[in-house]
Amino acid sequence: MSCILQVENLVKRFGSVQAVNGVSFSIERGTCFGLLGPNGAGKTTTVEMLEGILTPSAGTIRYKGAPTNADFRKEAGIMFQETALQEFIKVGETLELFSRFYAHTRSQEELIDRCALSDFLDRDVRKLSGGQRQRLLLAIALVNDPEIVFLDEPTTGLDPQARRNFWQLVNDIKQEQKTLVLTTHYMEEAYELCDEIAIMDHGCIIAQGSPRDLLKKHFDNSVILLPASDVPESLDQHELLKLHRMNGQVEILSEDVNATIELLMAQKIPLGHLQIRSRTLEDLFLELTGRGLRS
Amino acid sequence: MRFKRFMAVLSARNLEFIRDHSALSWNIVLPVLIVFGFAFAFTTSSQNLFKVGIYDQQKQAPGVEQFLQLKHIQFIPVNSIDKSITKVERHQLDMLLDSSSGSYWINDRSANGYVLEQLLRKPGETSLTKKTVTGDAIRYVDWLIPGVLGMNIMFSSLFGVGYVIVRYRKNGVLKRLKATPLTAFEFLSAQVVSRLWLIVTVTSLVYAGTNLFVGFRMYGSYLTLLLVLVIGTFSMICLSLIIAARLSNEETANGLLNMISWPMMMLSGVWFSLEGSPQIIQQLALIFPLTHMILAARAIMIDGATLLQVSDHLLILLIMSALFMTIGARSFKWE
């Protein structure tokens, strides 16, 4: 696979605030690259510099080996975190409006079908639900049949079902070998969609790799969950258990789940409400920064 | 500039305006209400003040000096006898007095002219020469219509383009457009053309509609009047581009637009003539495009001025348009 976008030492300052502090990465053609981090981490600023919306204070962005220029907009599809559309215009008219900005476009029928817009094609854009609106914005991002698609927190504010539906659309785009750049603060979304992620905090990349590799690299254990009331406090200092209490639950980090369960049974701990889960990107972020993704 | 992109924005903006029924109806209803309101309010009487045009005031023929001391008469210095005679014919002046020769003109259909003659001419006075002209009065509504339509054009241009672009910037519409190959020039041109044809169409309809009921005096060419309408509207839309160039706060934009529109409305001669007002006010009014548009339109409608006679106003409007557009386009930011 070849590199389609290369970023080196990217910096963005707003007055005295340094929003992005020297980030570097490269994105392979046909992959989904995720920028993961909490609000204010610098994800949107980074992606808006890649899109050409913001001018970097320092650093270079190369698209297909050359510095990005005005023509980049013809080959890029962009879905902003927050986008207002012209009022009093219907869905189909909005799609037509954006189609006419480009010389090379995808067929509107195909876009309508792909993004499931046909049911509300004649509806005023102000009267769309959250999920319908995001599907329209995705269709607009795809209108020029882009080589690279930027999706900035595309599912924020959607209900779980609408989010799942949107993920399916993104997976369909991936099947077309498009390159995707996705920002999100939903670790589940990044895990589901991204081939590679960069975790950002305070304007810097603090970890980068495929979601599975990152989890494998940082964790070799699972989490056993029990109700706090079932676990006596005398066990908190047990030398073989890494245990901590939070929100009425006890989390036990275990490198050998069978051995830990045997130990708990030996202590006569009731296991009727026991849950076991693998480590997640949220755990990884907590591990790396000491804070939660949505804190 | 790609014509396809320009046309795309133009048609979207037109749809937005036409479907925004409240804005559309406000643009039509307001000037109609004002015109009818003033037509009914001033059908029987024009302004009550006596207006006397004074030519060559430096020298005064016998009997004139005492007349010039009278109170409650507005004495307006004039430079042209011919133009002033036309104003007497149309009742815009109640009397014209050539101060040095003692000649005076009144309209034989003007009650005010008759009263002023009695005040000027004492029994046995022979040094003054009476000259009579005739003609129907220009009603206040005839004089007012260019002002009212001009005012409506001003508000529609400034708020319909300037305020809308600021709103687009605030809510992110411009940011989304920036991410496409659309250029700022294509976007701004489409906004200007969209509002220009909408205003010209609406204004023409309002004029034609109210004319059916009121029957405005029109001594000039409709084609010349249309040209003044187009160029005047264009200059005020260009003015709004300066406001729209960078602001992203609707409240600030609103304040600035009001700061521009209100002095223009008060000083451009929308409601009352600036003749007789201090010279500095008259000079100040000339910096406003609305003043030139109204002066040119009134000259065509009331005085029957030709294209050549209003060309100075049109030239100033075109220069202003070029200046405003250059400043607005060069300082334009999508965000």
Last residue of a domain, one of B65, B99, B133: B133
| pLDDT tens digit sequence for B128-150 | 888 988 877 778 888 889 999 99
The pair of structure tokens assigned to A136 is: 């329209």
- CA separation, residue A126 to residues A94, A116, B100, B208 (Å): 12, 18, 72, 36
Closest chain A residue to the Cα of B176, Cα to Cα:
A83
Last residue of a domain, one of B133, B159, B182: B133
Closest chain B residue to the Cα of A69, Cα to Cα:
B181
| Residue A53 to residue B179, Cβ atoms within 8 A | yes
**B90 at the A interface (CB within 8 A)?**
no
Instruction: Work out the pLDDT band at B328, boundaries 50, 70, 90.
Output: very high
| Residue A80 to residue B176, Cβ atoms within 8 A | yes
| pLDDT tens digit sequence for A50-62 | 999 999 999 999 9
The pair of structure tokens assigned to B210 is: 């109210």
What mean pLDDT, rounded, does chain A reach? 89
**A85 at the B interface (CB within 8 A)?**
yes
The predicted model gives B188-196 an average pLDDT of 95
| pLDDT tens digit sequence for B50-65 | 889 999 878 887 778 8
What pLDDT does A292 receive?
A: 58
Instruction: Work out the pLDDT band at B42, boundaries 50, 70, 90.
Output: low
| pLDDT tens digit sequence for A144-153 | 999 999 999 9
Task: Judge if B167 and B299 occupy the same domain.
Answer: yes
Which residues in chain B (167-206) have CB-CB distances under 8 A to chain A? 168, 171-173, 175-176, 178-182
Task: Judge if B88 and B213 occupy the same domain.
Answer: no
Task: Judge if B145 and B233 occupy the same domain.
Answer: yes
What pLDDT does B41 receive?
A: 65
Task: Judge if B167 and B207 occupy the same domain.
Answer: yes
Instruction: Work out the pLDDT band at B110, boundaries 50, 70, 90.
Output: confident
- Asked if the model's pLDDT at residue B275 lies above 80, the reply is no
For residue B129, report the phi and psi dihedrals to the nearest 5 degrees: -115, 125
The predicted model gives B96-117 an average pLDDT of 89
- Asked if the model's pLDDT at residue A239 lies above 80, the reply is no
What pLDDT does B46 receive?
A: 47
Q: Chain A contacts of B12, Cβ < 8 Å?
A: 86, 89, 93, 97
Out of A60-64, A104-108, B124-128, B222-226, which region has the weakest mean confidence (pLDDT)? B124-128
Q: Chain A contacts of B169, Cβ < 8 Å?
A: none
Q: Chain A contacts of B20, Cβ < 8 Å?
A: 87-88
Tell me the C-alpha distance between B261 and B38, whole Å.
Answer: 21
Number of residue pairs across A and B with CB atoms under 8 Å? 62
What mean pLDDT, rounded, does chain B reach? 89
The predicted model gives B60-82 an average pLDDT of 85
Residue carrying structure tokens 């187009």: B230
**Which of B70, B79, B74 lies closest to B94 in space, CA to CA?**
B74
Q: Chain B contacts of A140, Cβ < 8 Å?
A: 176
Q: Chain A contacts of B10, Cβ < 8 Å?
A: none
Task: Judge if B246 and B320 occupy the same domain.
Answer: yes
- Asked if the model's pLDDT at residue A45 lies above 90, the reply is yes
The amino acid that residue A63 corresponds to is: Y
Q: Which of B1, B13, B16, B180 to mutate to test the interface with A (most CBs of A within 10 A)?
A: B180
Tell me the C-alpha distance between A283 and B70, whole Å.
Answer: 95
Task: Judge if B126 and B165 occupy the same domain.
Answer: no
- Asked if the model's pLDDT at residue B310 lies above 90, the reply is yes
CB of A116 closer than 8 Å to CB of A142: no
Task: Judge if B264 and B128 occupy the same domain.
Answer: no
- Percent with pLDDT over 70 in chain B: 96
Q: Chain B contacts of A88, Cβ < 8 Å?
A: 15-16, 19-20
Sheet containing strand A66-67, edge to edge, reads A17-28, A3-14, A58-63, A66-67
Per-residue H/E/C for chain B: CCHHHHHHHHHHHHHHHHHCHHHHHHHHHHHHHHHHHHHHHCCCCCCCCEEEEEECCCCCCCCHHHHHCCCCEEEEEECCHHHHHHHHHCCCCCEEEECCCCEEEEECCCHHHHHHHHHHCCCCCCCCEEEEECCCCCCHHHHHHHHHHHHHHHHHHHHHHHHHHHHHHHHCHHHHHHCCCCCHHHHHHHHHHHHHHHHHHHHHHHHHHHHHHHCCCCCCCHHHHHHHHHHHHHHHHHHHHHHHCCCCCHHHHHHHHHHHHHHHHHHCCCCCCCCCCCHHHHHHHCCCHHHHHHHHHHHHHHHCCCCCCCHHHHHHHHHHHHHHHHHHHHCCCCC
Task: Judge if B35 and B55 occupy the same domain.
Answer: no
Residue B335 in any domain: the answer is: no
- Asked if the model's pLDDT at residue A248 lies above 90, the reply is no
Instruction: Work out the pLDDT band at B38, boundaries 50, 70, 90.
Output: confident
Last residue of a domain, one of B73, B99, B133: B133
Residue B191 in any domain: the answer is: yes
Instruction: Work out the pLDDT band at A291, boundaries 50, 70, 90.
Output: low
Residue B153 in any domain: the answer is: yes
Q: Which residue has the higher pLDDT, B123 or B74?
A: B74
**A61 at the B interface (CB within 8 A)?**
no
Our CA angle for B69, B48, B275, nearest 5°, is: 70
Tell me the C-alpha distance between A33 and A182, whole Å.
Answer: 6
| Residue B5 to residue A86, Cβ atoms within 8 A | no
Task: Judge if B169 and B35 occupy the same domain.
Answer: yes
Domain range enclosing B174: 3-41+139-330
Domains and CATH numbers, chain A: 3-216 (3.40.50.300), 220-278 (3.30.70)
- Give me the residue from A78, A82, A89 closest to B12, CB to CB: A89
Tell me the C-alpha distance between A145 and A155, whole Å.
Answer: 21
Task: Judge if B54 and B114 occupy the same domain.
Answer: yes
Could you give the number of structural domains in chain B? 2
